[in-house]
Each structure stands twice: as C-alpha cells, then as structure tokens.
Amino acid sequence: METFTLKNDQCRDVRFTGERIAHTCTSPDQSSNYYSGSVGRYSTWNLYRTKAGKYVGEKIGYTQWQDERDSHDVAILEDHAAVRDFFGMNNLAKDVYEEAGIECLEEIE
C-alpha cells in the first residue's frame, strides 16, 4: 500500500493510503486503437481501493492545446454501484471494471 494525493478541480484534493486496482487510458494518436476521438485530447482513468475498503475514482482529461487546462475529477465511492455510477457504461469504463474484478452485467430471466 502507498499514499496517494489526487488533484481534484471541483473540490478539495484527496489523500489516502491504498492501492491502484485499475488503470486505463485513451490516446491522442488517431492511429491508435485507443484513440480518444478528439484531436489533441486524451484521458486516464484510475480506480483505487483504500486501506479502509472504500474506492476512489479518478478521471484525468489531458489536453495538448495551448490555453486549455487538464481536468481532474475525483470521487470517493462506497461500493461497486457507486463505482459504476462514477465511470458510466462505455468501453473505457468496462476496461476499469474488468481489471478491478467488478461485475458489469444485467441478468434477465
């Protein structure tokens, strides 16, 4: 376990002891399979588990454009449902869920 300090644009920064359990990212490179879909912009998403068993979600939006700033969004999450609410249901989110071992399916009869 290690101590993390995460920048958070809309609220106080967050510090905790834990481990990163999932990481995924897009690419600004149009030829990449993980192309972000936006020239000069890309994202990194991380999911952490704290020593106390909570989750911390982090979305960082990077820009290569002058006069634009990178964005940092961090949320403290109580359970898997809150993790899914924070990251949503796109391919990037599903990469996070798979790496973290969080089930992301709907069962029907």
Which pLDDT tens digit goes with each residue over 79-103? 999 999 999 999 899 999 999 999 9
For residue range 4-31, list pLDDT tens digits in order: 999 999 899 999 999 999 999 988 888 8
Is residue 105 in some structural domain?
Answer: no
Q: Domains in the chain: how many in total?
A: 1
User: pTM to 2 decimals?
Assistant: 0.90
85 is in which domain, residue-wise? 2-100
Q: Is the pLDDT of residue 36 over 90?
A: no
Is residue 22 in some structural domain?
Answer: yes
- What is the phi/psi pair of residue 56, to 5°? -130, 120
Q: Which of 25, 31, 28 is nearest to 41 (CA)?
A: 28
Is residue 106 in some structural domain?
Answer: no
Is residue 109 in some structural domain?
Answer: no
Is residue 45 in some structural domain?
Answer: yes
Is residue 62 in some structural domain?
Answer: yes
